[in-house]
Amino acid sequence: MSHPALSPTVLARALDIAKAAAAMAANLIDECIDRRVALEIEQKSSSADMVTQYDKQCEELVLKHLSTEFPDFAVLSEETKSDVVITDAPTWIVDPIDGTTSFVHNSFDCGVSIGLAVNKRPVLGVVHLPRMKEVFTAIEGQGAFLNGRKISVSSITDPAKAIVCTHVPYNRSSASVAALLGINRELMQDLKVHAVRTYGSAAMDMCSVACGRLDLYFEVGIHAWDMAAAAVIVREAGGVVHNVDDPSDKMNLDLSSRGMSCGSNHEMSKLGTMLATKHNYRAAVLDLPV
């Protein structure tokens, strides 16, 4: 049975709490980069997939605040609660540092991502990028905002006039690298896009689509915590986000599907799907049989 929708009052309070929780972790990220603190780095799925003591500290700060204020909500979070299965119940979906690689390298493209899903659908999102001094927020049905100002996607539909973002996968198998290079080659050479960009935070790049500085970003290999918050922000800014392998008009985003295509409109997001399919991106990155 599906969960009843949360009231506007509860959603407004949840947004305030999520913003406050994100700000606590964002301040810590900022301080760590400013002070060039010593990092204890552990390896996860590959040598490029890292976690530091500060990912864990940020998570502790965020989860403590969220669960004190909303003790009944479930929590899925990258570092200590990554196995939690998303049900229809209200669920916080947290990435304490999205863009750990960039964080480790003192770069600007990292931040905190806090989403709230009900009936497995993201309904609220906060993405706080401390180095950019940017806080993106959205509640379903109420628009998307950057530092309190309403934002909207670009109107680009022609790939030759677009900026497209793809990411470097953690999986460096020959198939994975070949898929990515094939996609980037096609974007540059055949579609002649204005530029291909690569940054280090899925949440930031989805928000960049939301505010019109990117036109398309698609990726396979990401997790629910990388995309839940930003998915609401993109949709509320007038963009679309859906499963990377579904070009239909359903616009479904299964948060557990390990991929998404997100664009300023369906023409752009379908281009992500087309390229992903053509280059076997999903099977290559997730090591699935072809």
Interacting residues toward ligand IPD by CB under 6 A: 78, 95, 98-100, 167, 200-202, 219, 221-222, 226
Q: Which is nearer to Ca ion, 136 or 145 (CB)?
A: 136
Q: Which is nearer to ligand IPD, 78 or 140 (CB)?
A: 78
Check binding of 78 to Ca ion (CB under 5 A): yes
DSSP string, 228-290: HHHHHHHHHTT-EEE-TT--STT----TTSSEEEEESSHHHHHHHHHHHHHTTHHHHHTT---
Q: Closest separation between CB of residue 251 and ligand IPD, Å?
A: 21
226 binds, among ligand IPD, Ca ion, none (CB under 5 to 8 A by kind): ligand IPD
How many positions of this chain bind Ca ion (CB under 5 A)? Answer: 3
The residue from 52, 100, 166, 273 that is catalytic is: 100
In the region spanning residues 86 to 105, those forming contacts with Ca ion, defined by CB under 5 A, are 95, 97
- Residue 138 CA to residue 85 CA, distance in Å, equals 24
**Known catalytic membership, residue 100:** yes
3-state secondary structure at position 118: strand
The residue from 98, 109, 205, 246 that is catalytic is: 98
Q: Closest separation between CB of residue 181 and Ca ion, Å?
A: 25
The residue from 55, 226, 236, 246 that is catalytic is: 226
The side-by-side arrangement of strands in the sheet containing 149-150 is 74-77, 91-98, 111-118, 121-129, 134-139, 144-146, 149-150
> Residue 50 half-sphere exposure, CB side, CA atoms within 13 Å?
17
**Known catalytic membership, residue 98:** yes
From the number of C-beta atoms within 10 Å of its C-beta (0-12, 13-18, 19+), residue 245 rates as middle
Q: Which amino acid is at 250?
A: K
208 binds, among Ca ion, ligand IPD, none (CB under 5 to 8 A by kind): none
Residue 143: which of 215, 226, 207, 238 has the closest Cα? 238
The residue from 55, 95, 219, 246 that is catalytic is: 95
Q: Which is nearer to ligand IPD, 6 or 76 (CB)?
A: 76
The residue from 78, 79, 134, 246 that is catalytic is: 78
**Known catalytic membership, residue 273:** no
**Known catalytic membership, residue 60:** no
Q: Which is nearer to ligand IPD, 98 or 246 (CB)?
A: 98
Q: Closest separation between CB of residue 96 and Ca ion, Å?
A: 6
Largest CA distance in the chain: 52
**Known catalytic membership, residue 78:** yes
DSSP secondary structure code for residue 81 in this structure: B
Burial 9-41, CB ≥16 within 10 A → b, else e: eebeebbebbeebbbbbbebbeebbeeeeeeee
**Structural contact between residues 28 and 61, judged by C-beta atoms closer than 8 angstroms:** yes
Q: Closest separation between CB of residue 225 and Ca ion, Å?
A: 7
Q: Closest separation between CB of residue 279 and ligand IPD, Å?
A: 17
Q: Closest separation between CB of residue 252 and ligand IPD, Å?
A: 20
**Known catalytic membership, residue 249:** no
Candidate ranges 74-82, 167-175, 233-241, 265-273; the one touching Ca ion (CB under 5 A): 74-82
From the number of C-beta atoms within 10 Å of its C-beta (0-12, 13-18, 19+), residue 195 rates as exposed
Catalytic sites, residue numbers: 78, 95, 97-98, 100, 226
Residues that bind Ca ion (CB under 5 A): 78, 95, 97
